[in-house]
Structure 1
Amino acid sequence: MDQPPTTPLVLLVTCAEWPEGEPGHGALDVALEAQGLTARWVQWDDLGVDWGAADVVAVRSTWDYDHRLGEFLGWASGVGPALLNGVDVFRWNTDKHYLVDLQGSGLPMVPTLAADTVFDVRAAADRYGVAVVKPRVGAGGRGLEVVSDGRVWLPSPDGHPGPWVVQPLVESIHHDGETSVFMIAGHPVSQVQKLPSTTDIRVHEQFGGTMRSVELTREAALLAAQAVATVVDLLGDEVVYGRVDMMRHEGRLVVSEIELTEPGLYLDVLPLNALPLAEAIAARALPRTW
């Protein structure tokens, strides 16, 4: 007699700092259960996890990867086809040089220059006037610096040793903040506005930033869809889910970053993001028959 298929297993990947999952994870847990899936939160560096047993592996809150990138990419390369977005997308997206790639493709972007040395940073920052310097590998806004005089810039003793990317300081960050559109299965599904505090340009909550759900606008949705389509054209890989961050620069909305590796979906603010994500995961989780 044929054995009945078992419930597909989904592994949701996190890190030691967030062992129970990302903020608002309960919404995703419920949505996956409603899709008939068994889901567990596991740490990416837990040697006891049987990744081969999973039908789908979805990276969610691995927010320590920037300090251990080689290990993280090594882990991802061993997971196999069950890994959503996949190691090639991760390798490209975890190095902010991808912003230069996107800029070269014609996508509306915050202007970005790559800088391998201190002298590269100085030249780029001097070109932009007031500049933002970011580590090429960085997460959560860590290591970001605002440089007002590039000619004398040096990395701080406890700062990032490089390489970097350099962008102009976009003035609208102070009053409009940053807009993020969530893309799932090729479709824009929701939007948030993020504002920095009065003492920092970073919109992350740990630096005093705040966020709120706003109506998905046509302008932002079209740019987000264009951004993800551009990535797919560049890499030739499927992008199942991601977040496109934007700012208004010189009168138009432009992309500031695209998060495709471990994009926070802000489920604590937008719990309904869990529904299309669960549907996308279910569509890729074939019932096991062995």
Structure 2
Amino acid sequence: MTAAPVVLLATCAEVADLDADSRALADALRARGADVRPAVWDAEVDWAAADLVVVRSTWDYVPRREEYLAWAARVAAVTRLENPPDLLRWSTDKAYLEDLRAAGLPVVPSAVLAPGDGGDHPFLGVEHVVKPTVSAGSKDTLRLGADAEGARRSADHVLALHAEGRTALVQPYLAAVDDDGETAVVCADGEVVHAVRKGPLLERGGGRVEGLFAEENISARTAAEAELEVARAALDVVRGRTGRAPLYARVDLLPSEDGPVLLELELAEPSLFLDVTPGAADAVAAAVLRRVAG
């Protein structure tokens, strides 16, 4: 009798028993005969006992990114880790957006300000967003106005991030999201699984997010063909880096006058919203077990 494949879903201590998204994946995997267990990434775990470790809700890594990446390298040395360490390193710093732009993808205009660059940037005259390049769950992300108060708060926030040794990313706020929302295209093993609408998250003039992540308003959505084209192009960039499609990916897109533009390519610990669309968890579970098989 063949032993059930052991799949560990890496999470963080605050959601040690997994969130609804990962529980849906775990249930789908168990229905296919897998031995699935949650595992807190920075706890004592026998990672080598797993046939596959899938990174899921490891949302507390941001203040300890290098420790997190070192953990990923250790796990990958003793078993299979998806997504692999090189993708985790690349995608956990939003400077990767410049790589996507250079590859010809439509990306939200961005300015990257490293410590020492000061607080001025090209978007002080328009409504805009300031966030750290290394962040998750909209933590430390502010939506700021085009007025003098917005400019003052913007520069202060950039400088505050610099004081913490962090690099800031500044982008114009695309107001169409207030009505249309974001489109998140979820992919597994290079294929589109489903899409969701993410409601507008940031309030103008609001403060920093408290807690592990900002609560989101999620509903099922059918992605437009233009959105699917951008998502597929983003996956092609990943294939060009690694030679293979990532096990999982989420491509976040915003509406603009020129068509969809890419806000983020999530390859580390994205919510996949598998509890929103019937069959989505099954599709991702099938992709996971294909990786176990090789």
Same fold (TM over 0.5): yes
Q: Which residue of 2 aligns with 1:171?
A: 175
Q: Which residue of 2 aligns with 1:129?
A: 126
CA distance in 2 between counterparts of 1:173 and 1:215 reads 16
Equivalent pair of 1:118/1:154 in contact (CA under 8 Å): no
Instruction: Note the alpha carbon deviations across 1:77-106, whole angstroms, 9 max, x for none.
Output: 011151012000000000010111111111
Q: Which residue of 1 aligns with 2:240?
A: 233
Query: Within 5 A, what are the aligned runs for 1:255-274?
Result: 255-270=262-277, 272-274=279-281
Instruction: Note the alpha carbon deviations across 1:99-133, whole angstroms, 9 max, x for none.
Output: 1111111111111221113645412333x632211
Q: Which residue of 2 aligns with 1:41?
A: 38
Query: Within 5 A, what are the aligned runs for 1:186-265?
Result: 186-196=190-200, 199=203, 207=214, 209-236=216-243, 238-265=245-272
Q: Which residue of 2 aligns with 1:94?
A: 92
**Matched residues, number:** 281
CA distance in 1 between counterparts of 2:47 and 2:278 reads 27
CA RMSD in angstroms, aligned pairs only: 2.6
Structure 1 gap ranges (5+): none
Q: Which residue of 2 aligns with 1:116?
A: 114
- Structure 1 residue runs of 4+, over 6 Å off? none
Q: Which residue of 2 aligns with 1:155?
A: 157
CA distance in 2 between counterparts of 1:111 and 1:65 reads 26
**Change beyond 3 A, Cα 1:58–1:207:** closer
Query: Within 5 A, what are the aligned runs for 1:18-33?
Result: 18-33=15-30
CA distance in 2 between counterparts of 1:92 and 1:117 reads 20
CA distance in 2 between counterparts of 1:242 and 1:181 reads 8
CA distance in 2 between counterparts of 1:108 and 1:198 reads 22
> Is the counterpart of residue 181 in structure 1 residue 185 in structure 2?
yes
Percent identity of paired positions between Structure 1 and Structure 2: 36
TM-score normalised by structure 2 residue count: 0.86
Greater mean deviation of Cα atoms: 258-267 or 4-13:
4-13
CA distance in 2 between counterparts of 1:119 and 1:187 reads 40
CA distance in 2 between counterparts of 1:62 and 1:211 reads 20
Cα deviation for residue 272 of structure 1 reads: 2.6
Instruction: Note the alpha carbon deviations across 1:7-64, whole angstroms, 9 max, x for none.
Output: 11100111101011122433222211222211111100111x1111111110111111
> Is the counterpart of residue 74 in structure 1 residue 34 in structure 2?
no
Greater mean deviation of Cα atoms: 251-260 or 212-221:
212-221
**Change beyond 3 A, Cα 1:181–1:40:** same
SS at match of 1:252: coil
Equivalent pair of 1:103/1:112 in contact (CA under 8 Å): no
**Change beyond 3 A, Cα 1:239–1:24:** closer
SS at match of 2:284: helix
Amino acid corresponding to residue 97 of structure 2 in structure 1: L
SS at match of 2:66: helix
TM-score normalised by structure 1 residue count: 0.87
Q: Which has the higher contact order (CA 8 A, sep 6+)?
A: 1
CA distance in 1 between counterparts of 2:126 and 2:29 reads 48
Structure 2 gap ranges (5+): none
**Change beyond 3 A, Cα 1:90–1:201:** farther
CA distance in 2 between counterparts of 1:237 and 1:53 reads 25
**Change beyond 3 A, Cα 1:28–1:208:** closer
Equivalent pair of 2:22/2:56 in contact (CA under 8 Å): no
